[in-house]
Structures are given as structure tokens and as C-alpha cells.
Amino acid sequence: MGCRDVHAATVLAFLSGTASVAGLLAAVLLPNWRQMRLYTFNKNERNVTVYTGLWIKCARFDGSRDCVIYDPQWYTAVDQLDLRVLQFALPLSMLTAVSALFLCLIGMCNTAFVSSVPNIKLAKCLVNSAGCHLVAGLLFLLACAICLTPSIWVIFYNNYLNRKYEPVFSFDISVFIAIASAGGLFFTSVLLFLWYCACKSLPSPFWQPLYSHVPSMHSYASQPYSARSRLSAIEIDIPVVTHAS
């Protein structure tokens, strides 16, 4: 696997990272982080389920899709610590992952469109595609940690709420989407690390261009004569002496 070619590993990593960011965006926007189901013993009433998201809260009767209570200002009055942490953690994770995608795209474009023989005046300013993918992998791993930790905490905090109050709380689909997106970010970082491990034998450090020198600078260097060539010349210069009979 050469570093100067666009490979399926880097393309797959970019697609996987894009899908993971889309999953994080869906988890952030959906009002399905926690459900609180309220039961009634009155036969003339219907049970109510309160859907709690990071930004809005919606209460619905069983069998209805309309919100009887819709609170678009919920994000300012969140009283659950895990959801408050997620309000900061998930956008930060998305921002980190988008930065990693941008670096990954720069690395692929540099690999695909930059000439194999760089301009010697700009050699120190060139972007190393392997370095871009390595830093992108580190950013994807960081985004995974930022997203995964508070998302798993929601599950334990939900159990804490059930013990403290009543067993009416349950985590919803957004928790699974966020955890799956974190897994996608981890998979993306592993792909980029594996790709970089195939390139680490290059002589240049990862923050420098891949070219240790411009190939044309050493193409016309004169080759020294071999020892056999010098010996042959000496043998030619030595006169041959013969004894007369």
C-alpha cells in the first residue's frame, strides 16, 4: 500500500466518518433520549408518555402522534445532569469529527491531484497526505471518546432515576444512535491508523511532505569509476616486456 495513491481504506474511512457525523446530528436533533411513562388507573383517561430530548420535550397520549405538551425552551431548563452534559458533548464531538473529515479530504485531494515531483521552492510548504490522515484519525478517536462516554452514562443515570423516584424512566432510540455513531468514529480512526502504519517506513516525518528530495536533483550525478575500470586502465598503460631468444 503506497502513500502516494488514493486507496479504498481512506475512501471508506471518509464515508464511514461522514455517516457517523450524520448519525450524531440525528441523535442531537431527535427528542428521544429519555421516556417517562405516566400511567393512569382511570379508564376514561389514557396513559401519557413524555419524550425528553436535548432541546425539546414532548408529551403524547398513547396512540397519538401529536404533542399535547410541547416545550421548545426545554434546553434552557434541563434539570437532568446527563442531558445537560450531552448538550455540550455531542456538538463538540460533531465539530471535532467534521474537522477530521476536512483533514481527511485534504489528504485525499493532495494525494490525487498533486504532482509527483514538487516545486523545490514550495517543498517545505506542501501538505503531507499521510500526516493529514494520521491527525484525522486522532481527531476521530477524540470525537468517539467525547460522544461515547456521556451516551453510556445516560443508561446508568436512567437506572439511578428509577431507583430515586419510580421505575417510569427508560432510555430511547437516540442513545443507541449516538453509541452506534461513536462506534463508526472509532472504526474510521482504526482504518486511518492502519493506512498510516503502511506508510510509516517513509524517510520523512509525518508533518513534512512525503518527498525526501526532488527526484530530478540527483538524476544526473556522475558515477565513479569502478575498481575494475581503474585496474584495466593501469594494465593498459603497462608495457609488455619480452625476452629475445
The alpha-helical segments, DSSP class H, found in 3-67 are 8-29
Q: How far apart are the first and last CA of the chain?
A: 73
**pLDDT, mean of each 10-residue run, the chain (245 residues):** 62 91 92 82 75 86 77 80 90 94 84 55 55 88 94 88 82 91 94 79 47 41 45 48 52
- Distance between alpha carbon 3 and the CA centroid of its chain, in Å? 18
Angle between helical axes of 129-164 and 173-197 (0-180°, round to 10): 150
Angle between helical axes of 173-197 and 8-29 (0-180°, round to 10): 160
Is-above-0.75 flag for pTM?
A: no
DSSP result, 16-28: HHHHHHHHHHHHH
For the chain, the domains span 8-32+78-113+126-199
Q: What is the pLDDT of residue 239?
A: 52
**Cα–Cα dist 63/65, whole Å:** 7
Strand partners, 34: 52, 171
Q: What is the pLDDT of residue 196?
A: 80
Contact 89, 77 (CB under 8 A): no
Q: What is the pLDDT of residue 183?
A: 94
